[in-house]
Amino acid sequence: MSQRMTRDHQSRPRRSLRLTLATAIIAATVGSMMVGTSAVSATENLGSAAPAVSTASPCEALESLNLNETVAISADLVTSGQAEGQSGLPEFCRVKLTVSEAINIEVWLPTSTYNGRLQAVGGWGYAGNILYFSMADALKQGYATTATDGGHVGIPYRGTFALNPDGTLNHQLIEDYASRSLVEMTLKAKDVIAAFYGKAEEYSYWNGCSNGGRQGMVLAQRLPDAYDGMMIGAPAMMYARLFTASLWPFVVEQNELGGPMSACKLKAFNDAAIAHCDAYDGVVDGVIGDPKLCDFDPATLVGKDFGCGEITAAEAVAVRKIWNGPVAPDGERLWNGIAPGTPLEVYAVEPSVLLSDFVAYWIKQDPTFDWHTLDYAEYAQVFREAVAKFADVDGSDDPDLRPFQEAGGKIVMWAGQADSPIAGQTEGFYDRVVDVFHSRTKVQEFARLFMAPGVDHCGGGTGPNIFDPFGAVVNWVEKGIAPESLLASSIVGGQVVRTQPLCPYPQVAKYNGRGDINDATSYNCRANYGSSSAPGKRN
């Protein structure tokens, strides 16, 4: 693999994918029509303007690109500052592509504000649309940016596209959603960038959370030399397992109680767990620093009334099973559970159709299937069937990241500790990566995971939830500075009221016993708490 030098430190493998011959020819043609673009490169500070690009005709010329399997392409220069409900946009060339069968891709190319970098952005749920606000954010920072709808148009929380009218699975749309749309988006965006600017991007990045995190891991595994850096947030990897596991609390309530528990009682269990385990990190702040240390027993609430009736033994059993996670009747653990401290009130209502659609359309292949009929035995059967059908199709959980590491890529991954099954799944995946490399130190040379106490899915929650993992991966790639921690803030009324470090997993933030508990400088990253308040835990 050819080499190139970073600006201030050692050489690294060149990671731009090879252009197709047809694209290279068009690139030369379009490049000859542009002014002052031969020296366009990434500037030292993100967002600084690069040399201006003439826009007399190169944008429209992109419609002549001959890209493999592309059935439609359009290119329009946007000068109004507005597009798809987004405003304040710099002038850019908007390229729309449709790849067979129906993968819609957009590439937005800034003209005079280009910083020499690509930022591809991910989607959420079942995709079905393009997150224009994410593209707009990237564009405003000077990035060329790209995104895809995943190969179908629809509502992101509906999975109905997987089933044909005759009751068979639409394997093409499923594959497009799972991986093919992401590969095509990456390859096409790089071709378009090279054609428009006359050269490949200097750096390329992935930025995604939830399904966008899953998408990033798919690309790290299938196109390991495509991206220099990847921000992987709350990755919904292994969706066959994750979607089915996320239905588990509702199945438990249905089987143990005949229906959902009240939000009041669920909150009582969660509040009691926080009260019991809060101090294990050395400070009482309403957040469990490391839920794995929490040893609260829900049975201690039986007979107590929190203003919504006495807690019953059956309700305590249900909460314990929810925290413990899916287990088959034969004792096989199917997946990780939900960490204590994760808000349980969401299980006081019916599950999202994102979950029920997966069982009805993807597994049972019957839109009329009622998940309420699942007992523990059939649930286990559904779980195993989901894995058998889709684990290989998804392909986002292969822990062998050696090709990505060998290509010089960097990953900053994060997840909230209060993010249902995703928290445990993310830690488990990272542990398996360490197993492949036989060295945590070696993995941390290219991939670091940060767990955010009290933070929910992709943000929110009770813990400090404002931080910049994407900036951290850019710093790592371009300056060689690996993130030792991420500074997280809580903001209320526009004011920062608390800061705390997020530590590289498996380290956790421990209060040092002095100073303001709302100040990050009062915490240190440690291997574990070493607190006598957590009985049975190693020091």
Catalytic residues: 210, 419, 457
Query: Is 481 in contact with 410 (CB distance < 8 Å)?
Result: no
Pairing of strands 203-209, 117-121: parallel
Q: How far apart are CA 380 and CA 375, in angstroms?
A: 9
Beta-ladder partners of 108: 94, 145
| Beta pairing, strands 70-78 & 495-502 | unpaired
Distances from the Cα of 218 to the Cα of 131, 172, 232, angstroms: 19, 17, 11
Amino acid (1-letter code) at residue 519: D
> Tokens for 110?
């800034």
Burial string for 229-263 (b: 16+ CB within 10 Å, else e) reads bbbbbbbbbbbbbbbbbbbbbbbbbbebeeebbeb
Residues 24, 65: contact at Cβ < 8 Å?
no
Radius of gyration of the chain from Cα atoms? 24
SS (H, E, C) 433-476: HHHHHCCHHHHCCCEEEEEECCECCCCCECCCCECCHHHHHHHH
d(CA 108, CA 118): 10
